[in-house]
Homo-oligomer: A and B are copies of this chain.
Amino acid sequence: MNKVDNIKTLIDMYVILVYDMGEKRVGKMLKHCRKYLNWIQNSVFEGEITEVKLKELVYEARKIMNEKEDSLIIFKSRNERWLDKEIIGQERMSTDNFL
């Protein structure tokens, strides 16, 4: 890993993460993703994360998933300001702690 790569791993990215999991695995995945990102909807998370932490998240997520049935999609951006967010209906509070 060269110097530039070293620096890259320290810069936060903004990510949106969505999953579609079998019922048996969904609780575990939710708990896992909440360690890294903000939960904004049923199976949707967003937040800032470093490249290294994201790799860790994905590595552990693969262990939870059944890759033949489940799916995990991560949208990554270097900068949140390129995205506007519009919420219609119920907004999940970020202070929501019922799990």
Q: Spell out A's residues near B (CB within 8 Å).
A: 16, 18-20, 40-44, 58, 61-62, 65-79, 82-92
Q: Knowing A18-B44, A20-B41 touch, does A83 contact B75 (C-beta < 8 A)?
A: yes
Q: A20-B43, A40-B73, A58-B88 are in contact. List 14 more A-B contacts (CB 8 A).
A: A20-B41, A20-B90, A58-B86, A67-B88, A68-B89, A71-B92, A72-B88, A73-B85, A73-B88, A74-B85, A74-B88, A77-B82, A79-B82, A82-B82
Distance to closest chain B CB from A36 (angstroms): 14
Q: Find chain B residues with CB under 8 A from A19 CB.
A: 41
Q: Find chain B residues with CB under 8 A from A58 CB.
A: 86, 88
Interface centre among A62, A79, A85 (most CB of B within 10 A): A85
Interface centre among A68, A79, A90 (most CB of B within 10 A): A90
**What separation, in Å, do the CA atoms of A79 and B78 have in the docked complex?**
13
